[in-house]
Structure 1
Amino acid sequence: MGRLSGYERAGVTHPQEAPLLREAVSLLFGGETEAEATRWLTGQGMLTPRGNAFRREVLHRLLTNPRLAGLDENGEPLEGWDERVLEPEVFHRLQKLYEERSEKRGKSREAYDYLLTGGCALCDECGPAMIGSRVHAEAPPSYKCDDCGTRINADRLEDFVVEYVLAELLKPGARERLEKLECDIEAEIARLKRHIEDAAQRDASIGELYGRGLMVKAAFLAAQKASKEDLRLSKLRLKQLEQMTDLPIGDVHDLVAWWRTAPHASKRGLVLLEIEHVRVGRARGSQVPEKRVLIDWRQPTS
């Protein structure tokens, strides 16, 4: 096992590293974040035992390691550890602080409503839908492609898209175009509802073919799986489409003012109605949305 930061060897603290780690813990108790404590350690010139610069996740693993306080995995004192980087009571207090911060971060995450998830924001590098994500627990919300890692901050992308959506709605004929789009959406909703209602009949037909020996088991199982996935995607699509209808903007004269106070569901519905997809490319040296984002506008079919 390699040397643990803060120790020269088991039970013997490192004269330079141990005081720095204790000070980093004091910073956390004082309200600083792990990222800030990591930057402070880096500024003091502290490296890991392998000679690498500290990263936030490396510091977190270290500070949640009970050996830092001379304890085993069960919280019992290790034999022969006459010196400790942290006293056990300080270590336990630090773990309690982590638990409290974790609970707060969890609530903060739940409170953020992404505007362009659910298949609207796509990765322009490799194609899949982007998901709501964060670089780490303390980072701001962002959109990420799970396949290639393309990422953009949520506020940067959403502000850019909203600005263009509102600009489109101020153009002549915008209201009439919205009405046509809503008619298209309502027609698709009706088709999807029929498709979902017929799912049981389609499954029964598949089962009947298999029961009569007209389908091998492998094909039967594949058809069942495809049918379930089709039903799942249809229900998801229906949920998205239903957000785009009955938007309360018919009599609104100042759309910008309306946007500032509108419920999130109404904002999302308006954006999804106007936009088919938002395609996000890699930064390539520029974080400016104009150089990374392409908007595919929804067009009426009639």
Structure 2
Amino acid sequence: MPRLYGFDNQTRTRVRAPERQVVREAVGRIRAGQSQAEAAAWMTAEGHRGTMGGEWTSMTLGRLLDNPAIAGLERDPDTNELRETGREALITPEEFRWLQQRPGRRGSIRSIEPREDDYEYLLSEGLTECGDCGQHMAGSRTDAGSPSYRCQSNFEGRGGCGKVRINAPRLEDHVGECVLGELSRPGAQAALEAAREAMAAEAQQAVVRIAALEGARAELVGPYAEGQLSRGTLVAADRRIGRDLRAERARLRYLEQGVDVPLGGVEDLARWWEHAPFASKRGLVLLLVKKIQVRPARARGVRDVDDRVNLVWRTALAA
């Protein structure tokens, strides 16, 4: 099976920088108004070829752009929802969703079968946790198709109790109201800037750790080639480093969302929130909130969320 274009190996844990740049340029052209066929023609004209040496066509490019792995995503086999893998990516999750939701993107090979639109979970990626067992809650639809956050009992080997679920829009509305309350307090801007500086420092530390892990992985090659390491030891060490790298890269993306919030010149943060893009809202929540704990409902069918949710604030203002 050929590797996926843009990645250096079958497990898609390492990217090929030149190929990633080609994909980013192609996506940029499509977002600027070019058709998929025009972007493919540009790739071929520039001498770029697929992993099997073939020229790019609208269909082969569409097959690549419809693969969630290029954005560090995968589909939950039970719910079909997109979830982050922590692996390296060629484009951002936001760019991938734009490509999938773009009705005028000519040449896509996506199925014409109707399915529910992907729901953008504002409080995912470890921000929300189960109040019973501490497991991170993930976005997941109910049997009726309603978006929710749930503690999953078997999620990539990180099992939780599986007993806690909460309606996603209601939780997000509640957290949004709490955030707006904090934004209306005196000193909000200064506290947010201080929080962003702290997150930027933590992000830089993550960059250093990632570089050290990548160096450690590269250093394994020499001893193995010289017969000082067995294949089993090499594979075990590589897997361990790979797990740590995925965790660090996921943490870095998490932190960067808070660092990149455009707060400069914003005087009325509450009004800004009402019209802010999804990514900016999420970044602002990350600056304010360290984690959101969700307890079980008092009884089946209870819809209130206020008494089930505890926000652990990050900033001194909200403490």
| Residue in 2 that maps onto 1:132 | 139
Query: Which blocks of at least 5 consecutive residues in structure 1 are unaligned?
Result: 1-101
Alignment of 1:105 onto 2:115: yes
Superposition map of 1:8-23 within 5 A: none
Secondary structure, in 3 states, of the residue corresponding to 1:233?
helix
Counterparts of 1:144 and 1:188 in 2: how far apart (Å)?
28
2:183·2:270 contact (CA, 8 Å) conserved in 1?
A: no
> Offset at 1:125?
1.4
**Letter paired with 1:252:** V
CA contact (8 A) 2:192 2:315 kept: no
Q: How far does residue 146 in structure 1 lie from its aligned partner after superposition? A: 0.8
Structure-2 residue corresponding to 1:263:
277
Q: Cα distance 1:118–1:223, how it changes in 2: closer, same or farther (>3 A)?
A: same
2:314 alignment counterpart: 298
Q: 3-state SS of the aligned residue for 2:259?
A: coil
C-alpha distance in 2 between matches for 1:120 and 1:235: 16
Instruction: Give, as a single letter, the amino acid of the residue that structure 2 aligns with 1:142.
Output: S
- Please state if 1:185 is matched with 2:191: no
Aligned to 1:229: 243
Indicate if the aligned counterparts of 2:184 and 2:270 stay in contact, CA closer than 8 A: no
Shift of 1:220: 4.1
Rounded Cα–Cα distance in structure 1 between residues aligned with 2:275 and 2:189:
20
> Unpaired segments of 5 or more residues in structure 2?
1-111, 154-161
Query: Which structure dedicates a bigger proportion of its chain to helix?
Result: 1
Aligned-pair distance for 1:299? 3.9
Change (3 A) 1:214 1:189: same
Identity %: 41
Contact 2:287 2:315 in 1 (8 A): no
In structure 2, the residue corresponding to 1:105 is in which secondary structure? coil
| TM-score for both structures, normalised by structure 2 | 0.56
Q: 2:147 aligns with which of 128, 141, 144?
A: 141
Deviation at 1:288, TM superposition (A): 2.1
State the one-letter code of the partner of 2:197. Answer: C
CA distance 1:208–1:163, change in 2 (3 Å): same
Q: CA deviation at 1:208?
A: 4.7
Give the aligned residue type for 2:128. Answer: A
1:115-165 per-residue CA deviation (whole Å, 9 max, x = no partner) reads 0011101111122211111112x4221111112141100111111111111
Q: Output the aligned Cα RMSD.
A: 2.3
Q: Which residue of 2 aligns with 1:24?
A: none
Using the alignment, how far apart are the partners of 2:292 and 2:150 within structure 1?
A: 13
Structure 2 equivalent of residue 43 of structure 1: none
Measured against aligned partners, the alpha-carbon deviations of 1:70-115 in whole angstroms (never above 9, x if no partner) come to xxxxxxxxxxxxxxxxxxxxxxxxxxxxxxxx93333x2x2x2110
Q: Could you say what secondary structure the match of 1:244 adopts?
A: helix
* 1:269, distance to aligned residue in structure 2 (A): 0.5
CA distance in 1, matches of 2:238, 2:264: 44
**Which one-letter code corresponds to 2:303 in the other structure?**
Q
Q: How does 1:1-302 map to 2 (within 5 A)?
A: 103-106=113-116, 108=117, 110=118, 112-136=119-143, 138-147=144-153, 148-208=162-222, 219-285=233-299, 286-299=302-315
2: CA distance between counterparts of 1:169 and 1:155? 21
Report the Cα offset of residue 218 of structure 1. 5.1
Opposite residue 133 of structure 2, the aligned amino acid is C
What is the count of residue pairs matched by the alignment?
A: 195
- Paired amino acid for 1:294: N
Secondary structure of the structure 2 residue equivalent to 1:125: coil
Equivalent position amino acid for 2:215 in 1: Q
Match of 2:145, SS state, is coil
Checking the alignment, whether the CA contact within 8 Å between 2:292 and 2:309 is kept in structure 1 is: yes
Instruction: Write the distance in 1 (CA, Å) between the matches of 2:290 and 2:244.
Output: 20
